[in-house]
Structures are given as C-alpha cells and as structure tokens.
Amino acid sequence: MTATIFMIVRLHNLFAVVMLGGIYSLLAASMFVVLDAVDVAFTEAAVGAGISLVLMLAALSLTKTEEKVASRHGILPLLVVLVTGAALIYGTLDMPHYGDPNAPIQQHVAPTYVADAQAKTTVPNVVTAVLASYRGYDTLGEVVVIFTAGVGVMLLLGDRRRRRRRAEGRE
C-alpha cells in the first residue's frame, strides 16, 4: 500500500496514477476483510475499485492523460503535511489500543445491536439489519444524495452534444 501511494505521488502519467488508485482501493478492500468488515470490503471492491475506476478512465478519455511536470516545487505543502501529521500522531497517543474490547466504542450501543438484531429484524447479518432496518430512513437519504449527484453530472455534461452542434452551426 505504501509503495502504491509513493508511486501515485511520484508519477506524472495520469493513466498510471488512476490505475494505481484502483489497486490502492483493492488493497484497502482486502484489509477490510482482515479487519472483519466483509460488507465494507464488498462495497469497496465493487464501488471503490470498480465504478470509480471506470469513472476516472472515462474522465481521462475526455481530458489529457499526461500531467504537466510541476514548475514550482514549494516546500510549503510538505511542511503543512508534516506538521499536520505530527499533530495527528500526537493525538493518537491517547487513543484506545487496537482490538481492545474495553474501548469506549465497544461499550455504548453496539452490544445492544448485536444482541437484539436477530430477534427484532430476523436478519443474521447485523450490518444489514442496522443499515436497512434500524437506519432505513438514513439509507433512503443516502439514495437521495446519489440521485442528486447523478442529476448534477447530467446537468453538467448532458447538453454537450447540443452545444457542440450549435457551435458548429455558428462556424
């Protein structure tokens, strides 16, 4: 994963960068399997590595595939990133340890969901039960967000052909 990131930062060929982005997503998905989040891994592999890659390639075919080599090599971005990273690492020193069953996140409502989900929703997969049953309205809201994004994309790109024909007519 680190190597992939390094190449994404270094390479100037956008096609390679986008492909490496897909590989990065796939690696993240396999990491989610290791971390017991199988549903998330499915989604990341299908949506993150699949659909976004196709979208990126489609956008590339409409634009350029080569990045201009940067003329300015500012030290400022690197400095900002290093300072922010140091601050975040300092912040993690107080965090609960990896896999700790007594961490605050495991103490709140999560055990209730695991205990009651089967009886209340008859779905053995707790993630599905919470997503589709307990928080069904939120998932509906999510669908509205995606719909809005789809409408936005269509408004931005939908009338391209008409506009091009108009431009040709003028010439």
Partner 1 sequence: MIEPGLYNYWIVVFLMMAGLYVVVARGNLIKKLVGLNVFQASVFLLYITMGKVEGGTAPILAEGVTVYSNPLPHVLILTAIVVGVATTALGLALVVRIQEAYGSIEEDELEEKDERDERKLRS
152 contributes a contact to partner 1 by CB under 8 A:
yes
Find the binding residues for partner 1 in span 26-65 (CB under 8 A).
Answer: 28, 31-32, 35-40, 43-44, 47-48, 51-52, 55-56, 58-60, 62-64
> Measured from the CB atom, is 67 or 166 closer to partner 1?
67
Q: One symbol per residue from 75 to 114: x for binding partner 1 (CB under 8 A), - otherwise; what is it?
A: --xx-xxx-xx--xx--xx-xxxxxxx-x-xx--xx--xx
User: How far is the C-alpha of 147 from the C-alpha of 26, rounded, in Å?
Assistant: 26
Nearest to partner 1 of 2, 169 (CB atom) = 2
Give 19's contacts (C-beta < 8 A, 6+ positions apart): 53
Residues 21, 124: Cα–Cα separation, whole Å:
34
Size of the site for partner 1 (CB under 8 A): 88
Long-range contacts of 122-126 (CB under 8 A, 24+ apart): 125/39
